[in-house]
Amino acid sequence: MTTTTVTAPAPGTSLVRHGVIAWLSSTDHKHIGILYMCTSIFYFLVAGLLAMTIRAQLIQPNMTLLGPHQYAEIFTLHGTAMIFLSIVPFALGLANFLIPLQIGAPDMAFPRLNAFAYWIFFFGGLTIFSGVLVNGGAAATGWTAFAPLSDIRISTGGGQDLWIVGLLMTSVSGILTAVNFITTTFLYRAPGMTMWRLPVFTWEMIATSLMILLAFPSLAAVLALLFIDRNFGGQFFDAGAGGNPVLYKHLFWFFGHHEVYIMILPYFGVITEIIPVFSRKPLFGYTGLVLSAFAIAGLSMGVWAHHMFTTGAVANLFFSGVSFLIAVPTGIKFFNWIGTMWKGSIILTTPMLFAVGFMLNFLIGGITGVMIASPPLDFHAEDTYFLIAHMHYVLGGGSLFAIFGAIYFWFPKIFGVQLSERLGKWCFGLLFIGFNTTFFVMHILGMMGMPRRIYTYPALQGWGELNFIATVGSWIMAAGVFVFIWDVVSASLARKGVADDPWGGNSLEWWTTSPPPEQNFTSLPPIRSERPVFDAKHPELARRTGK
């Protein structure tokens, strides 16, 4: 008989020391999380460059830098990449990295399914962008691809089909990942980690995963129907043959408005992780905040047709009423964050600055959201630059600011490398000023009468000036992103080491080494509240919560 000795890998093994093959074949949740996040940052940069082109074209009236078809391809790819290939997958990647660490587990419940989900997402993204190589160019019908505009008789190019197939792949990827998150959180929690002691980011990901399971099948369905219409003689959306273009809008927006919350709840979670750490206080109103996430997920079942107020084909008042109600749980989160900072001991590190920027920007997006939830206001604002401003305040000023906050907060944990606080603050300042310069004036442009998705506009009073301001803002934002890239590159080259818990963190990921070892933990502290690491380091302040 021979005996086998199992030795655990040494803690602190660097993640970067593996070969390329090891990365491609890895089922480690940390590797997959990093792959997701890097891919989504890549697409963020691509989509950002596309946005810069849009702003360049609109810098003054009657510009001819881009033709109408090119312009349509660019705004379609910009929206598609930001939503499906950047903001959502960054959240999935961050959750992949964090959920097992936050609940004290060695990996996800289904590691191979996890790798499979990443790779179909990866090839889905390539499929969407491969449209630029085919005859007729990439999809040019907007990220919503409304039929009958996306019908084969009008959008004849293969780019639209590649867009459909690529998006189907990313939606399947999302469904598989959501199943994995829910199973992992319900079954793999460490002893003592009860549901009411889960870190809020993990809670928000449970709510997000439930919404993915409800919404993505609707997206898959509408894409499949559109594919059948285009390629196999279907007539689901052809009014001339008994189909109905409004059906497309219903199926799309039933997915689409969940998608809005899928893009924001994970980032509510990010902000909620950052604020208590830099306020040196426990989260204010933990239970209310968790319940508010599920209230948003529940209410989001009944708001999709607020995107259809102007169709004249839906019960406007019902969808308006439910949309108004969403403001209440969203407001609760704001007061949770304010209550956490209240009488705290606040230090404005880069992640905290991004959290504050998130709150200020998202508040403006939330307020304009309540305005356009009212049909009599939406009749003017729908499909205008007012709407563009609203949605970018929520997703750009909101989600993207939280993405930068998350990177500055967890970069030391993920790579064992500290980013520069000085450059981080420059990055924040430029992004905050640039963002508000670009998007605030768009509210006014929309009210004055500028519709969205136009490649050129006449020289009407004030339009040129406001568009010029918006374009200048986009240059300031680009400078901020450049500082960020510079920071990441120089920090990675300098490889200045970092402590396991550089910020004084609360949740379990700060207990293990930076970066974490392959099996995540060699020991765990006792878990008696939602901030076990804080409790272990400050027994005199520790308090038992949850059941």
Partner 1 sequence: MRNVRFVATTALLLPLAGCGVYGLPNGATQQAQTMHLDWVVFSDAGLVVAVLLFALIIAPLILWRRRSDAYPPQFNRNNRWEIAYTGIPLLMVIGLFAFTFWDEEIVERITAHPANTVDVVGFQWSWRFHYHNTNIDVVGTPQSPPQLVLPVDETTRIDLTSSDVNHAFWIPAFLFKRDAIAGISNHFDLQPTRLGVYRGVCAEFCGLDHALMSFTVRVVSRGDFARWLRNGGSSAILSAKGASL
Among positions 158-217, residues that touch partner 1 (CB under 8 A) are none
421 contributes a contact to partner 1 by CB under 8 A: no
Q: For residue 140, what is the DSSP state?
A: -
Which of 65, 371, 489, 499 lies at the binding interface for partner 1 (CB under 8 A)? 371
Residues 461-520 that bind partner 1 (CB under 8 A): 462
Closer to partner 1 by CB, 111 or 451: give it. Answer: 451
11 contributes a contact to partner 1 by CB under 8 A: no
The CA distance from 24 to 50, in Å, is 29
The CA distance from 515 to 323, in Å, is 42
Binding range to partner 1, per CB under 8 A, among 65-73, 105-113, 173-181, 196-204: 65-73
Closer to partner 1 by CB, 126 or 541: give it. Answer: 541
- State the maximum Cα–Cα separation within the chain, in Å, rounded to a whole number: 90
CA 311, chain centre distance (Å): 28
What's the token pair of residue 113? 């399914």
What's the token pair of residue 251? 């199926």
Sign of CA dihedral 509, 512, 517, 522: negative
Residues in the chain: 547
In one-letter notation, the amino acid at residue 538 is H
541 contributes a contact to partner 1 by CB under 8 A: yes
CB 376 to partner 1: min, Å: 5
CB 87 to partner 1: min, Å: 21
The CA distance from 387 to 372, in Å, is 8
65 contributes a contact to partner 1 by CB under 8 A: no
The CA distance from 442 to 465, in Å, is 11
56 contributes a contact to partner 1 by CB under 8 A: no
Residues 225-254 that bind partner 1 (CB under 8 A): 239-240, 243-246
Closer to partner 1 by CB, 133 or 347: give it. Answer: 347
CB 523 to partner 1: min, Å: 25
Closer to partner 1 by CB, 175 or 441: give it. Answer: 441
348 contributes a contact to partner 1 by CB under 8 A: yes
Nearest to 196 by CA among 471, 543, 488, 546: 546
Q: Give me the residues paired with residue 159 across strands.
A: 138
Residues 310-339 that bind partner 1 (CB under 8 A): 310-313, 316-317, 320-321, 324-325, 327-328, 331-332, 334-335, 337-339
How many other CB atoms are found less than 10 A from the CB of residue 447? 14
380 contributes a contact to partner 1 by CB under 8 A: yes
456 contributes a contact to partner 1 by CB under 8 A: yes
| Helix/strand/coil for 138 | strand
What's the token pair of residue 201? 């980011």
The CA distance from 22 to 115, in Å, is 12
445 contributes a contact to partner 1 by CB under 8 A: yes
544 contributes a contact to partner 1 by CB under 8 A: no
Residues 271-300 that bind partner 1 (CB under 8 A): 279-288
* Total interface residues for partner 1 by CB under 8 A: 90
Which of 422, 496, 538, 544 lies at the binding interface for partner 1 (CB under 8 A)? 538
130 contributes a contact to partner 1 by CB under 8 A: no
> Are 312 and 382 within 8 A, CB to CB?
no
Q: 389-414 as b/e, with b when 16 or more CB fall inside 10 Å? A: bbbbbbbbbbbbbbbbbbbbbbbbbb
Which of 451, 464, 502, 525 lies at the binding interface for partner 1 (CB under 8 A)? 451
69 contributes a contact to partner 1 by CB under 8 A: yes
> Are 498 and 416 within 8 A, CB to CB?
yes
Closer to partner 1 by CB, 422 or 538: give it. Answer: 538
The CA distance from 204 to 262, in Å, is 10
Bond into 329 cis (ω within 30): no
454 contributes a contact to partner 1 by CB under 8 A: yes
Binding range to partner 1, per CB under 8 A, among 344-352, 399-407, 419-427, 471-479: 344-352
> Where do we find the tokens 């969205």?
452
> Are 384 and 450 within 8 A, CB to CB?
yes
Closer to partner 1 by CB, 368 or 520: give it. Answer: 368
The CA distance from 363 to 347, in Å, is 22
CB 36 to partner 1: min, Å: 31
Q: Give me the residues paired with residue 138 across strands.
A: 159
460 contributes a contact to partner 1 by CB under 8 A: yes
Closer to partner 1 by CB, 495 or 538: give it. Answer: 538
CB 106 to partner 1: min, Å: 30
CB 349 to partner 1: min, Å: 10
